[in-house]
Amino acid sequence: MTAIALVAHDAQKDDLVAWVGRHIAVLGAATLFATGTTGKRVLEAFPTLELTPLKSGPLGGDQQIGAMIAEGRLDMLIFFVDPLTPMPHDVDVKALMRLAIVYDLPMALNGATADRLMRTG
């Protein structure tokens, strides 16, 4: 089963929830993990998904996902980034993206790329 991590900055959470809805057939067959608030929002919209919420990103959720990447437990990272808002935990975000690159994990930072990953899987 495919393991996918879902993360979204605050201004992108609505977009990520809508994206999940468009790909519910594929995501419903996957094992999902998400940072705290993102996971809560996705589960509120789609309560039947198999999704494990982790800690909020700034409170350690980014590191939890980073550890999963390093341990080879994820197949994909979907991270809807808000490029226009400064993030107080920007170093955590950069570390997470760096791990995805180091471990050659497919990573989408916007909806168009995430759509493409769903098609090529």
> 42 near 17, Cβ under 8 Å?
yes
111 strand-pairing partners: none
From residue 31, give the alpha-carbon distance in Å to each of 40, 59, 92: 15, 22, 23
115 is catalytic: no
Q: Which residues, in sequence order, are bridge partners of residue 51?
A: 32
Identify the active-site residue in 10, 62, 82, 92: 62
Contact 83, 113 (CB under 8 A): no
Closest alpha carbon to 50 in 63, 35, 31: 31
| Residue 111 near residue 118 (C-beta atoms within 8 A) | no
Catalytic residue set: 62
